[in-house]
Structure 1
Amino acid sequence: MQFQVQHSPVFSTLEISLAQNEFVVAQPNSMLTMTAGIGISAHIGRQSPKDNVAVDSDTSRDSAPNTGGVRSAKPKRKHSWTGGFKSLLGGESFFTAEFRAKSDGETVVLAPESYGDIVVLNLGGETGFYLTRGSYLANTGQTDIRTIYGGLKGLMSKKGLFLMHASGAGHVFCQSYGSVVHRELAADETIFVDNRFMVAFSDTVTYKLVKATESVRDSLMSGEGLVNRYTGPGHVYYQTRGRPSGGFLSVLLDAFF
């Protein structure tokens, strides 16, 4: 498998070249083009990576071509309505789309729904990443993407009651709004980011909702109000533009889910 991010940072697309039986799982309605030898199947919820036998090699990142692979036998399906509803609660689609190559040399191109860059998260250790609402685009390899209950902490930090967590071995591709800034935080290093701009961050990073300034008056009148404080070690990816608000009802739903 090879992948390449093209046309970044505004009109980014993700081109993935597949060998026979290799596949990529993606958000529905994200396919831009594909070759004739690509088969599409739709599933409810997500499938456990334990159902696949795969080999994934090291790859480079960003816009340069990347090599690696997921060559597997036809997986046993373990999708469920529960998994679909969990995806909805995490801000993603009820269904997932699988693009599988019927022969070598097949290609599929994915296009995010927003005007922005594509972030490549490389997974392959004991740690993973949290994805913010609407940032998931696709994944390859032995990646396990789950919707987990964030509790009051997630609600108060404006991430909602449910969070998406990616772990395992492989790649997760995130869509953004605008360009993306990557920061690697050292232990106890802190950065403040409004959650509207956050795309993904390592699960080793701790976060907490705090006032933008010591003064409540200054926090409110400056328009900043409450922001999230992220403390390392780990990686944070945030976008340079916030997604337009969909109105009061949309804001209310985002706050809870």
Structure 2
Amino acid sequence: MRVNTRHTPAFGVARVVLSAGEAVEAHPDTVLAHSFGVVRSRKGKGRGPAIFTAPAQGGWMDLAPRHPGDVYPLELSGQLGWSVAANAVLSRPATVRHDHPWPAHQTLFGGDSGFLKHYSGTGPLVFASRGPVDALTLKAGEVVTVNPLFVLAYPDTVQVRLRALDPAEPQSIKTGEGLALDVAGPGTVLVQTRPSG
């Protein structure tokens, strides 16, 4: 599976090129077009993501986010997992899995499902970012505070702590509103340059 992007960073479109029989998960509402013969199958009931499988001759799919911004393919090597903003994944191959529950997220959010999901495996995980993607590269021991509304993804190499900006103000584990995420390196934190929500 290969990913090519165009119209970035404001109105990104990702072309996912599939070999014979390769499959990718994406939300049907984000499919702009695809080559003839690509087959769609539902993962379950409702309006969630679907699985798209290439025919014997291979194929392609063009995916466009529901909002303006960048599309960003992150190549997972199988060595590291990534914590990703809950609604940021545009597509993922079958070789990339959603790890649920993820112990570090349970520590971060308690029993609630928070504003992050964890992914691991190999292959391109494609993000839909609000605005262009920026990278904050941290050295070992370097700490930065990130507004959760701007977090796109970070690797398992970093350590994180979630705290209230003002204990007297409302906070939301679901969105990150009213919270701050302290991140300690080493690692690269990917942020979107416009807030989610």
TM-score under structure 2 length normalisation: 0.82
Q: Deviations for 1:95-143, whole angstroms, at most 9, x for unmatched residues?
A: 3211111132522101111211112221113311011121111112521
C-alpha distance after superposition, 1:54-81 (max 9, x if no partner): xxxxxxxxxxxxxxxxxxxxxxxxxxxx
Give the AA of the match of 1:37: G
Q: Is the Cα contact below 8 Å between 1:38 and 1:101 reproduced in 2? A: yes
Give the equivalent residue in structure 2 for 1:151: 106
In angstroms, what is the RMSD of aligned CA positions?
A: 2.8
- Partner in structure 1 of residue 10 of structure 2: 10
Question: What code does the residue aligned with 1:112 have?
Answer: P
- Counterpart in the other structure of 1:231: 184
Match of 2:55 among 102, 112, 131: 102
Aligned to 1:164: 117
The structure whose residues are more often helix, as a share, is: 1
In 1, Cα distance between equivalents of 2:86 and 2:23: 24
Give structure 2 stretches of 5+ with no counterpart.
Answer: 170-176
Distance 1:225 1:106, change over 3 A: closer
| Residue identity matched to 1:242 | P
The CA distance in 1 between the partners of 2:4 and 2:55, in whole Å, is: 21
The amino acid that maps onto 1:170 is G
Which of 54, 61, 65 aligns to 1:112? It is 65
- Equivalent runs, 1:52-67 vs 2, <5 Å: none
Which residue number corresponds to residue 161 of structure 2? 208
Aligned partners of 2:137 and 2:62: how far apart in 1?
29
State how many pairs are aligned.
188
C-alpha change, 1:238 and 1:13, in structure 2 (3 Å) is same
1:32 paired residue number: 32
Distance 1:226 1:20, change over 3 A: closer
Deviation at 1:160, TM superposition (A): 4.5
* Candidates 182, 189, 193, aligned match of 2:142: 189
Q: Secondary structure at the match of 2:20?
A: coil
Structure 2 Cα separation of the partners of residues 226 and 133 of structure 1: 16
Which 10-residue stretch deviates more, 140-149 or 116-125?
A: 140-149
Question: What TM-score do the two structures reach when normalised by structure 1?
Answer: 0.65
- The alignment-based identity, stated in percent, is 30
| Structure 2 CA distance for aligned equivalents of residues 195 and 202 of structure 1 | 15
